[in-house]
């Protein structure tokens, strides 16, 4: 029988690798506060806090973006919903984030960050909702689950099973009550939120800024310059709209930071190796029926890790303990799997006086050559 509810084990280990933040109040408790009462700020992750303030508004403080006051009822309700708050317990970098080997940027702060970016350029409420919910179906341990349960050639596990997850939530009812179309669950319909690589979009830009800053590949001052350079072309409501930067120098700084972060983290064979080793244990336990895959959307990373330790046989438990003790391996001799993405950025730049934006590689041809050389050099690791 599959295990679903973990019992407390190895609390000392969990205290060492995971700081349990104060969880924001539930929807029920929040709605009992009067118009002048406030709650203390609660952590959403490394760079961000949320605070319920008077008149049932939420004040978001983000170290990169500054303050954002949210008052629209649908956005306030979504931000407080259990489905969105669940993302606070999920590390953007999965097992390496949970084990404290990389910064513990959360899916919640990333989702809210993408929302802030489209909001800042003037996006309509629907597109803001799409940005906020674009990662809503992510499982615990994030993309580690792709290595555990995705079939060869299949998309990310959380995307493949998105409809299945949404059917278990109150999100469709919340949207219907506020007159918001269900199409917001299809973020690819909203070009400010999602665009094919290597173009700029809110999803790609937010994780780029958070990761590049937290891994020391981009100065905070430069990250803020990127945000200050961001615009929607020709407008945030045009049918064919784009996120663009108005300064090619700032675009170049961002693009170089992006490939440096890719080399060090996203397509690092060492990081992928620890994902694969973790995924192997999870896959074995789920496929053998010792862990119910429903808990992938019901538990935080910490709760799920406790469950894995309980469900594991001695060999699997030793593999888990090695992950806890050894950390990220040296990448000497490790190959980059063929399935691994090589991530680059070629943002559109719209300079004053120009009728149309153009990719940075056209504005600065040297970037086009630099980008292609990076792709070639990384491909040699396969």
262 located within any domain:
yes
pTM (global) more than 0.75: yes
Task: Give the mean pLDDT of 257-281.
Answer: 96
Cβ count within 10 A of residue 329: 13
Q: Would you give the DSSP letter of residue 262?
A: I
Q: What is the pLDDT of residues 158-179, one digit of tens each?
A: 999 999 999 999 999 999 999 9
Confidence of residue 326 (pLDDT cuts 50, 70, 90): very high
| Residue 36, pLDDT above cutoff 70 | no
User: Does 276 map to a domain?
Assistant: yes
27 domain-assigned? yes
Reported as a single tens digit per residue, the pLDDT across 207-247 is: 999 999 999 999 999 999 999 999 999 999 999 999 999 99
For residue 77, give the CATH number of its domain: 1.10.3210.10
For residue 46, is it within any domain? Answer: yes
Whether residue 145 is contained in a domain is answered as yes
The parent domain of residue 375 ranges over 11-326+345-379
Q: Is residue 360 part of a domain?
A: yes
Residue 22 lies in a domain: yes
Say which DSSP state 162 is in.
H
List 359's β-bridge partners, or say none. 348
What residue spans of the chain are helical by DSSP H? 11-17, 27-30, 73-80, 82-85, 94-98, 107-120, 125-132, 144-149, 157-160, 162-166, 171-177, 202-214, 220-229, 248-261, 269-287, 301-311, 314-326, 360-363, 365-379
Write down the mean pLDDT value for the chain.
Answer: 90
pLDDT at residue 38 in the model? 57
Is 60 exceeded by the pLDDT of residue 132?
yes
Q: What is d(CA 65, CA 194) in angstroms, rounded to the nearest whole number?
A: 19
Per-residue pLDDT at 62: 99
Q: What is the DSSP string of 57-120?
A: EEEEEETTTEEEEE--HHHHHHHHSHHHHGGGGSBTTHHHHHTTSS---BHHHHHHHHHHHHHH
Beta strands 230-233 and 242-245, pairing class = antiparallel
Q: What is residue 248's predicted lDDT score, i.e. its pLDDT? A: 98
**Count of domains in the chain?**
1
The answer to the question of residue 191 being in a domain is yes
Rounded Cα gap, residues 382 and 117, in angstroms:
35
Q: Could you give the 3-state DSSP secondary structure of residue 243? A: strand
pLDDT at 9: 34
Q: For residues 153 and 12, what is the distance between their CA atoms, to the nearest angstrom?
A: 39
């Amino acid at each position: 029988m599959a295990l679903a509810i973990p019992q407390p084990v190895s609390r000392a280990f969990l205290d060492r690798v995971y700081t349990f933040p104060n969880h924001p109040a539930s929807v029920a408790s929040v709605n009992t506060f009067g118009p002048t009462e406030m709650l203390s700020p609660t952590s959403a992750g490394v760079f961000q806090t949320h605070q319920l303030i008077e008149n049932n508004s939420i004040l978001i403080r983000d170290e990169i973006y500054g303050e954002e006051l949210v008052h629209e009822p649908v956005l306030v309700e979504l931000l407080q919903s259990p489905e969105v708050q669940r993302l606070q317990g999920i590390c953007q970098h999965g097992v390496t984030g949970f084990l404290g080997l990389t910064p513990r940027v959360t899916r919640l702060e990333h989702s809210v960050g993408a929302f802030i970016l489209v909001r800042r350029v003037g996006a309509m409420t629907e597109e803001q909702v799409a940005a906020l919910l674009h990662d809503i179906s992510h499982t615990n341990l994030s993309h580690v689950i792709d290595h555990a349960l995705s079939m060869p050639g299949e998309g990310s596990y959380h995307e493949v099973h998105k409809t299945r997850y949404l059917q278990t939530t109150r999100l469709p009812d919340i949207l219907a009550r506020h007159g918001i179309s269900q199409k917001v669950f299809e973020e690819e319909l909203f070009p400010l939120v999602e665009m094919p690589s290597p173009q700029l979009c809110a999803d790609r830009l937010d994780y780029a800024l958070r990761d590049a800053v937290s891994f020391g590949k981009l100065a905070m001052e430069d990250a803020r310059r990127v945000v200050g350079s961001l615009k929607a072309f020709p407008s945030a409501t045009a049918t064919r709209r784009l996120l663009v930067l108005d300064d090619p120098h700032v675009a170049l700084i961002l693009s170089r930071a992006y490939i440096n972060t890719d080399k060090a983290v996203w397509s690092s064979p060492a990081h992928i190796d620890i994902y694969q080793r973790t995924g192997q244990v999870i896959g074995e336990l789920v496929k053998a029926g010792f862990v119910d895959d429903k808990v992938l959307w019901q538990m935080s990373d910490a709760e799920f890790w406790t469950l894995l330790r309980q469900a594991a046989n001695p060999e699997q438990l030793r593999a888990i303990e090695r992950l806890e003790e050894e950390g990220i391996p040296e990448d000497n001799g490790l190959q980059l799997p063929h399935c691994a993405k090589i991530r680059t950025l070629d943002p559109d730049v719209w300079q004053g006086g120009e009728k149309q934006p153009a990719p940075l590689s056209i504005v600065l041809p040297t970037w086009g050559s630099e980008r292609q050389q990076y792709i070639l050099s990384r491909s040699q690791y396969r």
